[in-house]
């Protein structure tokens, strides 16, 4: 019986989703989707690129991003920019961001986090 070798690496994985997404969608579905698309294009994706991140997976309102370093700096840059963009708005988009640092398994299709050695939430 031959077992396939599994690739493991140490990584910082940033997990983010939109705080209050269901509420925002119930108030203004199209506006929320357009706002999220704009924020991803103007704030989130450029911040990930500037900080050498790699988007592993996206969902409707969330994402997993892998970093070798710069994970916390990227999360803080996103939160700072969103605070400025949302000033004075009661329906602004804000992200909940958590960072796990530990081993991940990459088998070409699946990206699985092992027991994390460090976990941090940034709001």
Number of domains observed in the structure of the chain: 1
pLDDT band at 35 (very low <50, low <70, confident <90, very high): very high
The CATH number that applies at residue 118 is: 3.30.70.1230
Q: How far apart are alpha carbons 8 and 99 in whole angstroms?
A: 18
Examine residue 38 and state whether it is found in any structural domain, yes or no: yes
Could you report the per-residue pLDDT of 66-81, keeping only the tens digit for each? 887 778 888 889 989 9
Q: Identify the pLDDT of residue 112.
A: 56
Longest pairwise C-alpha distance within the chain: 63
When mean pLDDT is compared over 4-13, 40-49, 74-83, the highest value belongs to 40-49
Question: Which structure tokens are listed for 114?
Answer: 């092992």
Intra-chain end-to-end CA distance of the chain, in Å? 48
66: three-class secondary structure by DSSP: strand
In a domain, 106, yes or no: yes
Would you state the pLDDT for residue 117? Answer: 39
- Residue 123 predicted with pLDDT over 80: no
Residue 85: inside a domain: yes
């Amino acid at each position: 019986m031959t077992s396939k070798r599994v690739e493991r690496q140490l990584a910082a994985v940033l997990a983010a989703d939109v705080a209050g997404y269901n509420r925002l969608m119930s108030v203004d579905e199209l506006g929320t989707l357009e706002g999220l698309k704009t924020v991803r294009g103007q704030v989130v994706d450029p911040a990930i690129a500037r900080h050498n991140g790699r988007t592993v997976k996206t969902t409707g309102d969330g994402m997993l991003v892998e970093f070798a370093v710069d994970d916390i700096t990227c999360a803080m840059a996103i939160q700072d920019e969103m605070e400025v963009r949302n000033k004075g708005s009661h329906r602004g988009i804000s992200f909940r961001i958590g960072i796990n640092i530990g081993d991940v398994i990459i088998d070409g299709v699946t990206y699985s986090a092992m027991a994390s050695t460090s976990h941090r939430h940034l709001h």
